[in-house]
Amino acid sequence: MPKIICKAYGKINLTLDVLGKRPDGYHDILTLFQGISLYDEIILTKVDPDVEELVLTCDLAGLSTGPDNLAYQAALLLRENFPQIVGLRIEILKRIPLAAGLAGGSSDAAAVLLGLNRLYNLELSMKELGKLGARLGSDVPFCLNPLTLIGEGRGERLSEAGNPCPELWLVLCKPPFGVSTKEVYQHFSEVQVTQRPDLAGALVGLQSGDRKLLYASLGNNLEDATFALYPQLSIWAQEITALGAEKVMMAGSGPTLMAFVKNKKEAEKLKSSFEKPNWSVEVVRTITSEDLKGRMIAVE
Is 235 in contact with 247 (CB distance < 8 Å)?
no
Q: What is the mean pLDDT of residues 84-101?
A: 93
Q: Are residues 197 and 144 part of one domain?
A: no
User: Among candidates 297, 69, 262, 62, which has minimal Cα distance to 166?
Assistant: 262
Higher pLDDT: 58 or 179? It is 58
Q: Are residues 133 and 214 part of one domain?
A: no
Q: Are residues 7 and 154 part of one domain?
A: yes
Look at residue 22 in the predicted model and tell me its pLDDT. Answer: 82
Q: Is the pLDDT of residue 49 over 90?
A: no
Q: What is d(CA 117, CA 121) in angstroms, rounded to the nearest whole number?
A: 6
Look at residue 224 in the predicted model and tell me its pLDDT. Answer: 92
pLDDT digits (tens, 9 = 90+) for 242-290: 999 999 999 998 999 999 999 999 999 999 999 889 999 999 999 999 9
Q: Interhelix angle for 104-119 vs 70-81, to 10°?
A: 30
Length of the chain: 300
Q: Quote the domain boundaries for residue 187.
A: 169-285
Q: Are residues 204 and 276 part of one domain?
A: yes
Q: Are residues 127 and 248 part of one domain?
A: no
Q: Are residues 21 and 140 part of one domain?
A: yes
Among the ranges given (38-52, 100-114, 140-154), the one the predictor scored with the smallest mean pLDDT: 38-52
Q: Are residues 261 and 136 part of one domain?
A: no
Is 179 in contact with 226 (CB distance < 8 Å)?
yes
Residue 94 phi, psi dihedral angles, 5° rounding:
-85, 125
* Enzyme catalytic residues: 11, 139
Q: What is the CATH number of the domain that holds 88?
A: 3.30.230.10
Q: Are residues 15 and 153 part of one domain?
A: yes
Q: Are residues 94 and 109 part of one domain?
A: yes
Q: Are residues 132 and 173 part of one domain?
A: no
pLDDT confidence of 48, banded at 50, 70, 90? confident
Q: What is d(CA 278, CA 173) in angstroms, rounded to the nearest whole number?
A: 11
Q: Are residues 132 and 21 part of one domain?
A: yes
Q: Is 185 helix (H, G, I), strand (E, B) or coil?
A: helix
Ordered DSSP codes for 227-255:
HHH-THHHHHHHHHHHTT-SEEEE-TTSS
pLDDT digits (tens, 9 = 90+) for 4-47: 999 999 999 999 999 878 888 778 999 999 999 999 999 999 99
Q: Interhelix angle for 126-136 vs 70-81, to 10°?
A: 130
Question: Is 13 exposed, middle or buried, given 0-12, 13-18 or 19+ CB atoms closer than 10 A?
Answer: buried
Residue 133 phi, psi dihedral angles, 5° rounding:
-60, -35
pLDDT confidence of 51, banded at 50, 70, 90? low
Q: What is the CATH number of the domain that holds 273?
A: 3.30.70.890
Q: Is the pLDDT of residue 82 over 70?
A: yes
Q: Are residues 237 and 149 part of one domain?
A: no
Q: Which segments of 82-222 does DSSP mark as H helices, in order?
A: 104-119, 126-136, 140-144, 181-188, 199-208, 211-217
Q: What is d(CA 180, CA 114) in angstroms, rounded to the nearest whole number?
A: 28
Number of domains in the chain: 2
